[in-house]
Structure 1
Amino acid sequence: MTVSNNTPVSGRFLTLEGGEGVGKSTNIQFITQLLKKQGIDCLVTREPGGTELAEKIRELLLSDHSEPVGELTELLLVFAARAQHLQQKIKPALAAGKWVLCDRFTDATFAYQGAGRGLNRDVIAALEALVQGELRPDLTVLLDIDPAIGLARAGQCGTPDRFEKEKLTFFERVRKGYQERADAEPGRFLVIDASAPLSEVQEEIERRLLLSLNLSDQP
C-alpha cells in the first residue's frame, strides 16, 4: 500500500461493508476484538464521518431537509467528508504503521450513489482518484443479506434516517452494486452471509479474515 508520494507503509487498511441491517456495528466490534487477540490495536472509524467536520457532513447526508438533496450534491458531500477523513485520520494512521478498520468506504459510494442512485460510475471513479490517489483498502469484509430481511432488522433500531426511508428496490440495487464490486475484486473481498445466526457469521468472519491476513488464530 502507498499513502502519498509513493511512500510504502506497514499499516493495513481494512473496511467493513454492507447494506442496512447486516450487523456492521456488532461485527466491527467483533473484528476489533479479534485483531486485539492477535496483538493488533487498530484505529476504528466510520464513513461518512470519522472527524469533527466529517461528522457534521454525515448529519447533513442522513437528515431530512425541506428541499430535496440532489444526487450529485449527495455524492460530492460524501467525498468532501472522505477527503477530510483521509487527511485528518486515515492517512496519518497508515503512515505511522497503524492498522485502520473503517465502517464503510468508497465501495459504499459505488453501491449507494452509483448502483442505488444511478450516478455514472466513471464520475465516482474520477472523484475516487482525486480524493484518494492510490489508496485502496487492503481487505474488505462484505456482509451480504436479502434487503427485505436487512430492512426489517434495521426497522427495529429506532427512527430511520434519510437513506433508510428509501424503497426496497433502491436497496436491491445497492446489494447488486456491492455484489458487482466483490465479483470484480475477489482477492480483496470476503463476502459473508449475514442472514445466518450471529455466532455462525462471526465464526466465518474469524476463519476467513485470519486466513486472508495470514494471522494465527492464537493470541
Structure 2
Amino acid sequence: MPTAEAQVPPRRTRLTPEREQELYVAVIDLLREVGYEAMTMDAVAARTHSSKATLYRQWKGKPELVVAALRHTKPMRIAQIDTGTFRGDLHQFARGIAGAAKKDTAVLRALGQACHHNKELLLALRENLIEPERLAFDTVVERAVARGELVAGSPALEFAPHMLLGAIAARELLDDQPVDVEYLTRYIDAVVLPALRSA
C-alpha cells in the first residue's frame, strides 16, 4: 500500500528549501493571526518579501499554499511512526499531536470554519493532507493485524481515525483544556485500544 509520502506528487520549484520553509512558516503565522479568510496572497507576499507572481507560479492559489504549509510544518507524520507495537505507535502519535496542539489550535479552528464555506480548501485538505494520513494510518493498522495485536475485520477499525480526531476536538469543547499527552494516552488505553481489539 502506498505511503503518505507517495500520495503527494513532487512539485518542481526554484526556491531553496530554506526559502520555501520561510514561506510556509509565514503562512502558518498569518493563519494564527488573522484566520484563513482574511489571509491573502498579498499579505503572504508582503510578510515574506516575495512577489505574488512567485507565489502563484509555485502554488496555484491560496488553498494549495495553505495545505503545502500545513504539510511541511507538521512536527510528525503517521508514516514515520513504527515503534513495533500498535499501542506504542498510538502513544507516539499522541505525543506528536499533543506537542503541537496548543500552538496549532488557532490554525485548526480557522481552517475548520473556512472549510464550511470554501469547498476548494476542503478538497485541497482532503486530497493532499487528510487522505495521505489516513492511508498511512491504515498501514499502521495493517501492521498491527499482521502482528496479531488486532483482529482483522473488527467493525471498530473503520472508526479509529474518527475516535482519535473526536477526542482531540472534544477536549477543548467539553473540558475547555488543551490536548495533552496524559489525556490522549489515557483515552487511547481506555477507549481506542479496547474498541479496536474487539472482534
TM-score calculated relative to the size of structure 1? 0.34
Task: Choose between structure 1 and 2: higher helix proportion.
Answer: 2
Greater RCO, CA 8 A, separation 6+: 1
State the TM-score, normalized to the length of structure 2: 0.37
Greater strand percent: which structure? 1
